[in-house]
Structure 1
Amino acid sequence: MDNKDRDSIIGDVPATGQLDGTVAVAGEVTPTDWSVMPVVKGSEDSVVMELWRLLKQEPALIVSAGYVLLSLLGLWSSYFFYLRFNLSILDYLQISDFLVAGLRDPMYAGILAGGIFLAVVLGWPDTLRRRNPARVEALRARHWGWRILFSKSPLTSWDTSGMRPLTGLTIAVVFFMAIGAAQYSMKKAEDIRDNGAGASVTVHLNGDAAPLKEQARLLGSSSAFVFLWWPEQRRAEALPISAIKRLQSVVLPPKAVAVPLVSASRTKTAAE
């Protein structure tokens, strides 16, 4: 046996060389990949990947696309907010209002983060199945709980939907943001309408010597209107900005200063 044959055999087992020149150890187990990031492999032709390639070629479009999406979210939320007051907000908005609709409440950023977190957590079983197929099958064979967790259901796998993982994850985030923003806006409106929440303001109209007696709740504003809720009359109103002379917030009562008990007792003793 020549040197070439000796180098190709280790004992009775042929040597298996890796791409980097190292030799694999017999019986070596591939470590489990617990990453929660969606699997990119196999999603090269998905809509999300196509859009991502386009955005990488034109980075300026990232800011524009994000701004448009945030504006759409703001319009969506504003619609459900003013719907609780029977106001058709879209009839009062101008083009400039559409562009800043999503910048009025920082809660939208929290809704976005919550949507991403929920979609990643719900998609984690599908991600583990794609990254570690052998490990997942071994777990499924051990216990019925693993079989339920890694089953191909609409909540744990994108296979039943026929969508790529990245596309499904993106749609899930958008869906969560739409539902979450609508619920948040309606709850905020109901607190103002029924529970007396919101900022109280005194309205002083142009041409009037004194402000209106009833205090209103400030709902919001646009480039041409101010939206108010009158609790006593149980009605909402859109006043043109040109008709308002002043909006004044309600004066808060001074904060009461607590007198220490020790100082009070000393003062009483000195008086005696």
Structure 2
Amino acid sequence: MDNREQGDIHGDVPAIAHLGAAPLPAPADGTPTDWSVLPAVRGNEDSVVMELWRLLRQEPALIVSAGYVLLSLLGLWSSYFFYLRFKLSILDYLQISDFLVAGLRDPAYAGILGGGMLLAILVTWPDTLRRRNPDKVEALRARHWAWRVVFSRSWLTSWDISGLRPLTGVSVAVVCYMALGAAIYSLNKAENIRDAGQGTRVVVHLAGDGAPLPGDARLLGSSSAFVFLWWPQQHRAEAVPISAIKRMQSVVVPPTGAVAPAARPAAAAR
């Protein structure tokens, strides 16, 4: 028999020594990283938010109605804390029409809503990246301890511990932030009027009176039937029926250092 040695073949049997060598490295993963900050939808099919979203997609008209109701509830919540500083039970003075427009009186509520959504999305971004790019995140965690901290499964950066779906958790966080932010904003606004003398100064003329009411009033707000005033001198708040008011004038305070209108001609004559 002719035993020939040619290349990797010894006779009629191929050489198998190379099978025991170290395996070739796997090709690098060319999948681009998904950097989206929006919560991952996959795995949230049974969440409450997804169920509501499916309902709203079937009935688009409900989106406007639901948004309007949420904004009205936010306005009522804020009004309660605002008038609480003045010892006024605002809910006793409101009618049905006032409930519907309570959230449209201050554009700051839109800023509170946007800020809450942005904050919740940024805080949960590590958890979103971990769900969208599990292999790459695990590689980063194995590389340095800082990445292990960023992508840790803690109560602050992950919804796994809370038992909530990511979409549901983000929605709950946004609602809580809106409620807390609106309450703090309303309380600070009320304290600035009550203690710092801010707010709109008004002169009130009642029906049947020739002279305005004495004192320096601050306009707190109004409803469909009442005007709410704050009297700093008496440290008293009151609700005046609109039917009892003949006229209300705002008082514009000139900036510091401004020349009074009566003194301008004399200064020009010089």
Task: Give me the TM-score of the superposition, normalised by structure 1.
Answer: 0.83
Structure 1: how far apart are the matches of 2:159 and 2:231? 49
* Counterpart code for 2:244: A
Q: Judging changes above 3 Å, is the alpha-carbon distance between structure 1 residues 32 and 107 closer, same or farther for their aligned structure 2 residues?
A: same
Which residue of the partner structure matches residue 174 of structure 1? 175
CA RMSD of the aligned region, Å?
2.0
Q: Which moved more, 1:167-176 or 1:245-254?
A: 245-254
Matches within 5 A, 1:47-58: 47-58=48-59
Q: CA deviation at 1:167?
A: 0.4
Structure 2: how far apart are the matches of 1:143 and 1:26? 23
Structure 2: how far apart are the matches of 1:251 and 1:101? 26
Structure 1: how far apart are the matches of 2:229 and 2:28? 73
**Are the aligned partners of 2:40 and 2:132 in contact in 1 as well (CA < 8 Å)?**
yes
Q: CA deviation at 1:238?
A: 0.6
**Are the aligned partners of 1:202 and 1:249 in contact in 2 as well (CA < 8 Å)?**
yes
Q: Judging changes above 3 Å, is the alpha-carbon distance between structure 1 residues 202 and 149 closer, same or farther for their aligned structure 2 residues?
A: same
Which residue of the partner structure matches residue 234 of structure 1? 235
Structure 2: how far apart are the matches of 1:145 and 1:237? 57
Deviations 1:37-90 (A, max 9, x none): 110001011110111111111111000000000000000000000001011100
Which residue of the partner structure matches residue 20 of structure 1? none
1:71 aligns with 2:69: no
Which residue of the partner structure matches residue 197 of structure 2? 196
Equivalent residue of 2:228, what SS? Answer: strand
Q: CA deviation at 1:26?
A: 4.0
Equivalent residue of 2:215, what SS? Answer: coil
**Are the aligned partners of 1:153 and 1:160 in contact in 2 as well (CA < 8 Å)?**
yes
The count of corresponding residues between Structure 1 and Structure 2 is: 236
Q: CA deviation at 1:102?
A: 0.1
Structure 1: how far apart are the matches of 2:215 and 2:189? 22
Equivalent residue of 1:192, what SS? Answer: helix
* Counterpart code for 1:29: G
- Structure 1 spans left out of the alignment, 5+ residues: 1-24, 258-267
- Structure 2 spans left out of the alignment, 5+ residues: 1-25, 261-269
* Counterpart code for 2:71: L
Report % sequence identity. 76
Q: CA deviation at 1:31?
A: 2.1
Deviations 1:146-167 (A, max 9, x none): 1111111111000011011100
Structure 2: how far apart are the matches of 1:102 and 1:154? 32
Which residue of the partner structure matches residue 122 of structure 1? 123
* Higher radius of gyration, 1 or 2: 2
Q: CA deviation at 1:250?
A: 1.2
